[in-house]
Amino acid sequence: MRTLLSRLQIKLPILHYRLEGPELLQGVLMIAVGLSTVPVLQETLGMSYSAALTAVAIAEALGLLHVTFGDPVVPGWVASALPLVLVYMADYAVGIQSAHALIALQLIVGLLFVLLGATGLAHRLMTWIPGSLKAGILFGAAVEALGRIFGEGGYLAQYPLSVGAGALVTMVVLFSNRFRIFKERSRLAAGLAKYGMLPGLVAAMAVGFLSGELPLPQLKWGLIPFDYGEVFRNFSVFSIGLPSVQSFAAALPTAVAIYIIAFGEIVTAEAVLDEAKQARPEDQIRFSSNRTNVIAGVRNVILSLFAPFTALAGPLWAAVTVSICERYKEGPKAMKSIFGGMGSFKLSTAVCVLLLPVASLLEPILPVALAVTLLVQGYACAYIAVEQVKADKTAAGVAGVTGAVVHLVSLNAALVVGILGYLLLERTGRRPAQTGSDRTGG
């Protein structure tokens, strides 16, 4: 714990890092992704629009804790786990029952982050979880995410032109091999790539508004209509009380699965920052996975007590962190300090979520932004899952069955199937070799 505290370094804008224009601009429109949790909060908890905006604003403000305490990442949700949270929440009636279910889940997730980060046990624990179980959970999350888009009555059926345009542009910019080669020859393409999901959201807005599929925004001025009174009365533990012991027991398996996914995001952050350090050896970047764990845990604990948040507080917004690191690697003239890029983006989103003109401009596109986000996360879950088991056909089979059970039955049943599959089909009596990601220290 003492070592962890020694790694906390206060970083304040202007005083410790300069504000970066591209990241400030990117944050203005990328807050659409953050605001896309508004319909999720309304659907799962029954929050009013103003109460959901208030919860998002609190979550965005807490995201500033990472940069403020010297953690060089852009945090977001535990986005890859959102489909699992939605499956878990579907078993509870909207209202106090679903609020208690979410409080129990988020509080356990937060305490796992804090405990495993403070003790340094996180990496050790992950080495003992079979790759097939990790992959199966990710496969299930991918199918759940894609089902909400392509399934009957999904987002694509509701907004075919907007979701189609946003998805096409986003997937090409983020994942296309041909585009990756093209941006090496084109400044325009390279410029688009730096903004991550933003070009896709702009394309979705343009197509949606021009086609009439999305209503034109009704611009309003001022600050968002905060309604923390509703959030406190209907969703805070200090008003509705703590969940029952049974609620915590029911939430535990899902919480463990969510932590497994979130830990993968921390490993991703470490890999991305290692590349940035190699490109800029003159600027010391100190990343500690234990520190990231603890800060993410504190955010989740606070939210669970005061404003439960369905998307949860995750350690990494991968697309934005990668795009900022790419600009950082261009040298000090492009970005003096990595904290400048990370801090500018999060400061921009934390401020913009308070501004009614921004919220009202983006309100019509929120379901489409959520659909595009789920597509990116579903795609990412799928390829990360394949990486976990691609060298072992037995593990791949166990992972495939586990993922199917997540989708067709439940996460709890899938955990049982995954563990039995590993013990009965994979295990040879020898401890499995660690992968590179498993050996990564914090």
H-type alpha helices, 90-197: 96-119, 122-127, 131-150, 155-158, 160-175, 177-182, 187-193
Q: Which residue has the higher pLDDT, 236 or 77?
A: 236
Per-residue model confidence as pLDDT tens digits over 317-363:
876 787 788 788 878 887 888 899 899 999 999 999 898 888 888 88
334 exposed, middle or buried (CB, 10 Å; 0-12, 13-18, 19+)?
Answer: middle
Identify the pLDDT of residue 3. Answer: 54
Q: Which two tokens stand for residue 416?
A: 């049982």
Residue type, 72: P
Query: What mean pLDDT comes out for the span 149-158?
Result: 89
Percent of the chain predicted with pLDDT > 90: 38
Query: Residue 197 pLDDT more than 80?
Result: no
pLDDT score of 8: 60
Q: Of the segments 208-212, 218-222, 267-271, 316-320, which one has the largest average pLDDT value?
A: 208-212
pLDDT at residue 367 tops 80: yes
Euclidean distance between CA atoms 414 and 143, whole angstroms: 14
- Amino acid at residue number 373: T
Rg of the chain over Cα atoms, rounded to whole angstroms, equals 21
As a whole number of angstroms, the distance between CA 148 and CA 374 comes to 8
Residue 1: exposure state from Cβ atoms within 10 A (0-12, 13-18, ≥19): exposed
Choice between 236 and 331, residue whose per-residue pLDDT is larger: 236
Q: Is the pLDDT of residue 69 over 50?
A: yes
Average pLDDT, integer, range 279-307: 90
Q: How far is CA 220 from CA 65, 88, 356, 362, 369, in A?
A: 30, 36, 6, 11, 20
Beta bridge partners of 88: none
The region, left, alpha or beta by phi > 0 then psi within -120 to 50, assigned to residue 430 is beta
Quote the pLDDT of residue 198.
Answer: 80
pLDDT at 1: 52
Phi, psi torsion values for 275, nearest 5 degrees: -65, -40
Residue owning tokens 């909400």: 148
Looking from the CA of 165 toward its CB, the CA atoms found within 13 Å total 20
100-120: average pLDDT: 95
The tokens of 323 are what? 């795009």
Tell me what the mean pLDDT of segment 236-240 comes to. 95
Q: pLDDT value at position 351?
A: 92
pTM exceeding 0.85: no
Is the pLDDT at 439 greater than 50? The verdict is no
Q: Across all residues in the chain, what is the average pLDDT?
A: 86
Residue spans per domain, the chain: 19-383
Q: In the predicted model, is pLDDT for residue 251 greater than 90?
A: yes
Ranges 93-102, 172-181, 292-301: which has the least confidence: 172-181
The answer on pLDDT for 437 being more than 60 is no
- Model confidence at 129, in pLDDT bands (50, 70, 90)? confident
Which tens digit of pLDDT belongs to each residue from 25-48? 878 877 888 888 998 999 999 999
Range 227-252 average pLDDT: 94
**pLDDT tens digit sequence for 395-436:** 999 999 998 998 888 778 888 999 999 999 988 765 544 444
Percent pLDDT > 70 in the chain is: 94
